[in-house]
Amino acid sequence: MTNNSINQTDSAPLLEVKNLGVSFFTPRGTVRAVRDASLTVRRGEVVGLVGESGCGKSTVAFSIMGYLPGIVQVDGEILYDGKDLVGMDESELEALRGNRIAMVYQDPQTSLNPTMKIGPQMREVLKTHLDLGKQEIRSRAIELFESVGLASPDTIGERYPHELSGGMQQRVVIALALACEPDLLIMDEPTTGLDVTTEATILDLIVDLKDRVNAGILFVSHNLGVIARVADRVTVMYASQTVEDADVRNIFNSPQHPYTAGLLSCVPKPANELGITPRLKSIPGSVFEARLEAGNECLFAPRCPIAHDQCTQNAPEISDADGHQVRCFFPDEVTSDIWGELKPRRDFESEDDAVVIEANDLNVRYRSRQGKKYILFGDEAQPPVRAVVDASFKVTKSRTLGIVGESGSGKSTTARALIGLTQKSSGSMLLNGDELETDSANRSDDQRADLRMVFQNPTASLNPKLPIKHAITRSLKLFGNFDNQGAYDEARALLEAVGLNPDYIERIPSELSGGEQQRVALASAFAANPKAILADEAVSALDVSVQAQVLNLLLRNQQENETSFVFISHDLGVVRYVSDDIMVMYAGHVAEQGPADAVLSSPSHPYTEALLSAAPEPDPDATPSIIRLDGAVPTMRERFTGCFFADRCHRKIDQRCDEIEPPAQSVNSSNHIIRCHIPIDQLVSQS
Amino acid sequence: MNQPPVVNQSREPALYLNRNVNPPLLVAILKSGGRFIKRYPLGAIGGVTIILLVLMAIVPQLFTPLATQTSDHVIGVHIKDRFLSPNSTAWFGTNGLGRDMYARLIYGARTAIMIGFGAVLLGKTLSTTLGIASAFLGGWTDVILQRFVEVFQSIPTILFLIIAVVAFEPKIPDFGPLSSDMLIIVICVSIDTGFQSSRTVRGVALALREETYVEAAVSLGATNTRIMRQHILPNLFQYVIVSASLFVGSAVLLESVLSFLGYGVQPPNPSWGRELNDAREELARYPHLAFFPGLFIFLTVWSFNMFGDALRDKLDPRLRGTS
């Protein structure tokens, strides 16, 4: 195919999806995964496709690739370069796929063959689609590895996928997709499984690629921050329809569909000019069910704050005004206030500074099991892993300590040591001034009643075989002096308090959605009014609208019951929203800790600085800061010397960093502490 | 590269909005039975055959109205009527002692089913107990139990059964409908499978113990007993049910093999394996004597396997392809 003709008419769309509909026929009925989706991708442009899970984003992406199972009905048109892909026969599609249209998947681990070295995988793709000699293929492969920013591109082909970090794997997958210089690149949540610092480097790569390769990119993501960072245009999907399509700035600054406006107001943002963090608004209800037959109505009407009678009597069509397309009868009524007025995050400040949770020099070490379990075989080959090193912190009454860091930084281990699921190796933990036993089995009922935990994965934290009432009534009966009937009634009240129908009490977990399951987990943590709750990535698995609901529930509970929280998340935006104090952890060490405002502003630890600059902000006009970290969090073992962050630090000074443990420096003798060799006055941000 | 598209499968709250309107129980059972037949036709055929076999075991009179287990033409000797070919009175012919093969095979079903179900009930109880104990008690209990499991895994099953039957049979009394020769098979097969499959149960229990909901219970102060009862057993149950239904066939086969070798059910009690053995010497002249017992054994094993497979796919699709 010659690209010249297309280059000249730059405005002609490369891909045009028109009124796409996809139905799956399943034994349990027809599923309308996509009802009416339209979008356009031009060359040299990144189009972001955004929406909550279950809105049909991925199905649109897969339809373009032609990856749909047999029992499916596709209506509408998918015009690629003027040719309709719907109904095209398999051999023609195969010639396009991988060659002219390439796809990057969410999980790089499953897109790479684990038994093949990287080089041969790349050469295979090149051989299949391009007519090149052996030497040419070799040099082309190296060129491609170089173009996606892989270090030592000439030797990386000799390595197996498992020898690479997640970020490097995703770079390899992108290089594979670029192999044949495709015209259209489809990326389905390409950074979702990655750490925030790695995500930032991959997003940089995508922005850079957009300028270098003359291709159109369709970027599917649920993360508005990521979309704002890479996209030129944005298409918003809701309940299997596209509802808005516009330039990225128009979408973020003046959304015209109430759903888009709602999504935007669910994302935690930094404090405004007055220093007030606005309270998150949330979208009530849940996404319109794909199994149901849509009547003649707007599918968003049941959740819409500005719905009129017309919205339930007629289905709105996409209308276009100056390139801003929206599926709404009343786009002019959409303002930033329709989802509720601007309110501060919470309307109280705690005066009581009684310490609820306290940890002093908490250490957790993991030993390898071998050599202990089977007495006769195997020595301990490696020294123990230092999962948490000398962590000291206090959480006072009705305040929240946020712990933030990448995966492998020891955040979860800290919480697990506090709740007694992982054994601490030294240091002390106190609850209301009383020593907490290492093992939860040895703690008193009072302590267990006062300290609870909410886990990351709501589906896994509820027994799939038991009705949800068990999870809630259990703690009520244990700690709250309730009899069976009393516990049952109280459990219904708790369900109602977390915004669930009390009749759900007899259901088993698989009959609830992920967000509903997490609310059940919250209800059971709130039962019998604990003094403190540990929330380990409690909102990470949830969609933004549900995440906002859950965060607000937590804050409301804190306000009503004076609960203290330890809130753990890798998402800096969420931690910033809920926390009074923040502790930044890296490889088991506390890099920086102190009041939230102080930690998030200058001066800060180089690692905090890198985390802050990596966090994607939902603002297309934000200038991305350039501090980037390569590699992954190392595993800290015993007999380690020097600074924990020295390997990846962008501000490493000299020998000291490799040899001496960094001192804990206090900023202006306050409780804001930074562990770094660089003097405080030089840690003030240069930008 | 070819991934199936992600359809919104997991969230289906709307589907359950009408859940309060439950259909009558019988209708619900018939409906779910109908769905099972439609989705797993082979499993359904297996299920029907199993029902027939169980009926044969409980009320053999339905199938051979004239005979009882001790009636003359089942266990008596009739020199005149030896080696009759299948005819209108003896449908499957008669054997070397002139006994009616059809009646003997119907009564053989009782032996096979009693031993099959008995061995599975006892064996799976043992393997579940041992497996959970091994997973939860850990330490030396685990080490010692697992070494026992390895011993059982390294001895050929048939060899173990022959030695055990020979060694213990004289010491075992009759027990209800099970005569001592049957009881000893049940016990030995249970011990063998109990140890062998306890390792898989242990694996599943260890995995379940790492589940977040178990950790959540631990953080609320749940005891080991409570965790086993509330969280491990219910989630282990479907796995045990499936492996039990698959094992009935194997147990029936083991009984037949033992009886064929002469160590199993003792004459004159009817047994399919023993019938096969009796047919061995006259196989060339009277092949029907081997054909019919072989057919019964084959049908039984096949039915339990097909039904077990379907049950596994239905209860836990993730286990598909494993045994």
pLDDT digits (tens, 9 = 90+) for B100-127: 888 888 888 888 898 999 999 999 999 9
- Contact between A3 and A99 (Cβ < 8 Å): no
| Half-sphere exposure at residue A366, Cβ-oriented, CA atoms within 13 angstroms | 17
What DSSP assignment string belongs to A58-111? HHHHHHHHT---SSEEEEEEEEETTEE-TT--HHHHHHHBTTTEEEE-S-HHHH
CA distances, B240 to each of A56, B123, B212 (Å): 38, 11, 22
Of all residues in chain A, the percent with pLDDT exceeding 90 is 21
How far is the alpha carbon of B9 from chain A, nearest alpha carbon, in Å? 9
Whether residue B281 lies within 8 A of chain A, CB to CB, comes out as no
Whether residue B17 lies within 8 A of chain A, CB to CB, comes out as no
pLDDT digits (tens, 9 = 90+) for B274-304: 888 888 888 888 888 888 889 999 999 999 9
A527: closest chain B residue by CA: B220
Considering the domain boundaries, does residue A523 fall inside one?
A: yes
Q: What's the pLDDT band for A110 if we cut at 50, 70, 90?
A: confident
Of A440, A443, A512, the CB nearest to B13: A512
Q: At A327, is the secondary structure helix, strand, or coil?
A: coil
- Does A369 have pLDDT greater than 60? no
How far is the alpha carbon of A30 from chain B, nearest alpha carbon, in Å? 12
DSSP B94: B
Whether residue B137 lies within 8 A of chain A, CB to CB, comes out as no
How far is the alpha carbon of B230 from chain A, nearest alpha carbon, in Å? 9
- Does B6 have pLDDT greater than 60? no
pLDDT digits (tens, 9 = 90+) for A475-504: 888 888 888 899 999 999 989 888 888 888
Per-residue confidence (pLDDT) for residue B318, from 0 to 100: 55
Q: What's the pLDDT band for B128 if we cut at 50, 70, 90?
A: very high
How far is the alpha carbon of B191 from chain A, nearest alpha carbon, in Å? 26
CA distances, A593 to each of A88, A596, A608, A673 (Å): 59, 8, 10, 5
Of B2, B5, B215, the CB nearest to A421: B215
CB contact under 8 A, A452 and B13: no
Per-residue confidence (pLDDT) for residue A8, from 0 to 100: 39
pLDDT digits (tens, 9 = 90+) for B81-94: 777 777 777 778 77
- Does B18 have pLDDT greater than 70? no
- Contact between A448 and B220 (Cβ < 8 Å): yes
How far is the alpha carbon of B238 from chain A, nearest alpha carbon, in Å? 11
Whether residue A419 lies within 8 A of chain B, CB to CB, comes out as yes
Give the containing element (helix H, strand E) for A674. strand A673-675
- Does B15 have pLDDT greater than 70? no
- Does A362 have pLDDT greater than 90? yes
Q: Which two tokens stand for residue A259?
A: 């759903």
How far is the alpha carbon of B141 from chain A, nearest alpha carbon, in Å? 12
Considering the domain boundaries, does residue A32 fall inside one?
A: no
Task: Over range A332-346, report the average pLDDT.
Answer: 79
CB contact under 8 A, B1 and A478: no
How far is the alpha carbon of A415 from chain B, nearest alpha carbon, in Å? 11
Say which residue, A209 or A344, is predicted with more confidence: A209
Per-residue confidence (pLDDT) for residue A456, from 0 to 100: 83
Task: Over range A424-442, report the average pLDDT.
Answer: 89
pLDDT digits (tens, 9 = 90+) for B145-167: 999 999 998 999 899 999 988 88
- Does A6 have pLDDT greater than 70? no
At residue A572's C-alpha, the angle toward residues A568 and A577, to 5°, is 80
CB contact under 8 A, A448 and B219: yes
Per-residue confidence (pLDDT) for residue A244, from 0 to 100: 93
Q: Which residues of B touch A440 (CB under 8 A)?
A: 218-219, 221
Strand stretches in A277-380, DSSP E? 319-321, 324-326, 355-366
Q: What's the pLDDT band for A374 if we cut at 50, 70, 90?
A: very low
Pick the range with the lowest mean pLDDT from A242-256, B188-202, B276-290: B276-290
Per-residue confidence (pLDDT) for residue A559, from 0 to 100: 86
Considering the domain boundaries, does residue A387 fall inside one?
A: yes
CB contact under 8 A, A460 and B212: yes
State how many domains chain A has. Answer: 1
CA distances, A10 to each of A43, A99, B92 (Å): 7, 21, 85
| Residues whose CB falls within 8 Å of the CB of residue A167, separated by 6 or more in sequence, listed in order | A194, A195, A198, A201, A202, A632
Considering the domain boundaries, does residue B30 fall inside one?
A: no
Considering the domain boundaries, does residue A31 fall inside one?
A: no
pLDDT digits (tens, 9 = 90+) for A45-66: 999 999 888 788 888 998 888 8
Per-residue confidence (pLDDT) for residue A560, from 0 to 100: 87
Could you list the residue range(s) of the whole structural domain that residue B282 is in? 60-65+94-319
Chosen from B2, B3, B316 to mutate, greatest number of chain A CBs within 10 A:
B3
Considering the domain boundaries, does residue B37 fall inside one?
A: no
Per-residue confidence (pLDDT) for residue B16, from 0 to 100: 34
Could you list the residue range(s) of the whole structural domain that residue A391 is in? 359-595
Determine if residue A410 is left, alpha or beta; phi over 0 gives left, psi from -120 to 50 gives alpha, anything else beta: left
Q: Which two tokens stand for residue A186?
A: 């489809």
Q: What's the pLDDT band for A685 if we cut at 50, 70, 90?
A: low
Angle between helix B25-39 and helix B41-58 axes, rounded to 10 deg: 120
Per-residue confidence (pLDDT) for residue B17, from 0 to 100: 36
Q: What's the pLDDT band for B9 if we cut at 50, 70, 90?
A: very low
Determine if residue A405 is left, alpha or beta; phi over 0 gives left, psi from -120 to 50 gives alpha, anything else beta: left
How many contacts does A have with B, using Cβ atoms within 8 A? 114
Per-residue confidence (pLDDT) for residue B26, from 0 to 100: 76
Q: How many residues does chain B have?
A: 323
Whether residue A98 lies within 8 A of chain B, CB to CB, comes out as yes
* Average model confidence (pLDDT) across chain A: 85
Per-residue confidence (pLDDT) for residue B82, from 0 to 100: 75
* Average model confidence (pLDDT) across chain B: 81
CB contact under 8 A, B11 and A69: no
Say which residue, A398 or A5, is predicted with more confidence: A398
Q: Which residues of A touch B212 (CB under 8 A)?
A: 455-457, 460-461
Task: Over range B307-323, report the average pLDDT.
Answer: 69
Whether residue B14 lies within 8 A of chain A, CB to CB, comes out as yes
DSSP A315: P
Highest average pLDDT, of A159-168, B7-16, B59-68, B193-202, comes from: B193-202
Whether residue B211 lies within 8 A of chain A, CB to CB, comes out as yes
| Residues whose CB falls within 8 Å of the CB of residue B239, separated by 6 or more in sequence, listed in order | B201, B204, B316, B319
Closest CA to A587 of A463, A675, A678, A475: A675
Considering the domain boundaries, does residue B47 fall inside one?
A: no
Whether residue B26 lies within 8 A of chain A, CB to CB, comes out as no
Per-residue confidence (pLDDT) for residue B150, from 0 to 100: 92
The CATH number of residue B193's host domain is 1.10.3720.10
Give the containing element (helix H, strand E) for A202. helix A196-212
- Does A371 have pLDDT greater than 60? no
At residue A57's C-alpha, the angle toward residues B11 and A205, to 5°, is 125
CB contact under 8 A, B221 and A443: yes
CB contact under 8 A, A33 and B8: yes
Task: Over range A18-40, report the average pLDDT.
Answer: 85
Per-residue confidence (pLDDT) for residue A616, from 0 to 100: 83
Of A24, A110, A503, the CB nearest to B7: A24
Task: Over range A464-479, report the average pLDDT.
Answer: 88
Q: Which residues of A touch B13 (CB under 8 A)?
A: 286, 289, 511-513, 516
Considering the domain boundaries, does residue B11 fall inside one?
A: no
Per-residue confidence (pLDDT) for residue B5, from 0 to 100: 41
Per-residue confidence (pLDDT) for residue B319, from 0 to 100: 53
Of A63, A374, A513, the CB nearest to B11: A513
Of all residues in chain A, the percent with pLDDT exceeding 70 is 93
- Does A1 have pLDDT greater than 60? no
- Does A273 have pLDDT greater than 70? no
State how many domains chain B has. Answer: 1
Task: Over range B240-262, report the average pLDDT.
Answer: 88
CA distance linking residue A662 with residue A643, whole number of Å: 6
Of A289, A440, A516, the CB nearest to B221: A440
Whether residue B11 lies within 8 A of chain A, CB to CB, comes out as yes
Chosen from B8, B16, B230, B233 to mutate, greatest number of chain A CBs within 10 A:
B8
| Half-sphere exposure at residue A458, Cβ-oriented, CA atoms within 13 angstroms | 28
Task: Over range A187-210, report the average pLDDT.
Answer: 86
Q: At A472, is the secondary structure helix, strand, or coil?
A: helix
CB contact under 8 A, A455 and B218: no
Highest average pLDDT, of A476-480, A540-544, A587-591, A650-654, comes from: A587-591
- Does A413 have pLDDT greater than 80? yes
Q: Which residue carries 């005004």 as its tokens?
A: A321
> Rounded to two decimals, what is the model's pTM?
0.79
Q: What's the pLDDT band for A572 if we cut at 50, 70, 90?
A: confident
Considering the domain boundaries, does residue B22 fall inside one?
A: no
How far is the alpha carbon of A541 from chain B, nearest alpha carbon, in Å? 14
- Does A30 have pLDDT greater than 60? yes
Exposure class string for A235-251: b at 16+ Cβ within 10 A, else e: bbbbbbbbbbbbbbebb
CA distance linking residue A447 with residue A502, whole number of Å: 29
Of A26, A53, A455, the CB nearest to B212: A455
The CATH number of residue A456's host domain is 3.40.50.300
Q: What's the pLDDT band for A275 if we cut at 50, 70, 90?
A: low
